[in-house]
């Protein structure tokens, strides 16, 4: 793979992740509060950014397991899990920049 292919592939990852974020935002958030689903962390004594970080740690754990063993749950491949981690990273960055 050369640099052009590398950048093209990275761009595809970000574009695919953006589509995932849009779809999940429609399911889990509202137009007025795009972070609504992460606010449940506040009811448990964590701030919203910590709630996102907890979700990211779940993904790190899943990635670690998937690198060692094939998945038992359908539709939760390492590719899906890595895309979720990219999405949570972007969401946390946007949240922190909005503060």
Give per-residue pLDDT as tens, 34-46: 999 999 999 999 9
Tell me, what's the pLDDT at 62? 92
Tell me, what's the pLDDT at 10? 96
Give per-residue pLDDT as tens, 6-63: 999 999 999 999 999 999 999 999 999 999 999 999 999 999 999 999 999 999 999 9
73 close to 79: Cβ distance less than 8 angstroms: no
Identify the domain containing residue 43 by its residue range: 3-98
Tell me, what's the pLDDT at 75? 74
Tell me, what's the pLDDT at 77? 85
Place of tokens 């899990």: 81
Tell me, what's the pLDDT at 12? 96
Q: 32 is written with which tokens?
A: 């007025």
Q: How many domains are contained in the chain? A: 1
């Amino acid at each position: 793979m050369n640099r052009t292919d590398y950048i093209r592939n990275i761009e595809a990852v970000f574009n695919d992740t953006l589509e995932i974020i849009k779809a999940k935002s429609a399911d889990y958030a509202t137009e007025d509060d795009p972070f609504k689903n992460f606010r449940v962390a506040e009811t448990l004594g964590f701030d919203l950014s910590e709630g996102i970080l907890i979700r990211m740690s779940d993904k790190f754990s899943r990635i670690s397991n998937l690198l060692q063993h094939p998945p038992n749950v359908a539709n939760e491949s390492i590719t899906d899990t890595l895309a979720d981690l990219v999405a949570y990273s972007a969401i946390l960055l946007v949240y922190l920049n909005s503060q």
